[in-house]
Amino acid sequence: MGWSTYSDQRIKDDIQSNVPGLTFINKLRPVTYKLNIHRENELCGILDTAQWEGKYDIEKITQSGFIAQEVEQAAIESNYPFNGVTAPTGNAKLYSIQYASFVVPLVKAVQELNEQLITQNESLVNQIKAQDALISEMKIRLDQFEQQQKIILELIDQNKK
């Protein structure tokens, strides 16, 4: 069973619909990387002398995610008070990311893309209708020209006799 967070309207104040979607999401750079546990220990001031087989195997695994500093910058550039990045403070020497916090701007981005799709579809439908009307008009004119051509050819044929 997954974890859940209280989301009851009765305990929320200052509710605003101001979450950026694509503006924020398009600034993010998904990456793959390998963790460097030795550097992590060094940055955190951890002296870890214990050794066991497989201790650093995680360094061989390609991970995927974001660079926290880049996410923080994307939020700043988007004027978005994003709570998904925790900057180093006190004992916490490293940036961290709360990946669950990306759900809301991702939902907003999907909604924005859907609106764009609806607008584009409406535009295409209108364009197709206009083209259909033009094609119908051109068919009528073509039929008229063919009838006129037939009459002209008959007149030419009669004049030859």
Q: Are 108 and 21 in contact (CB under 8 A)?
A: yes
pTM of the shown model: 0.78
Which tens digit of pLDDT belongs to each residue from 25-84? Answer: 999 999 999 999 989 888 888 888 888 899 889 999 999 999 999 999 999 999 999 999
Give the pLDDT score at 3: 78
Return the SS3 of 80.
coil
Q: Tens digits of per-residue pLDDT, 119-156? A: 999 999 999 999 999 999 999 999 999 999 999 999 99
Strand, helix or coil at 5? coil
Q: What is the pLDDT of residue 1?
A: 66
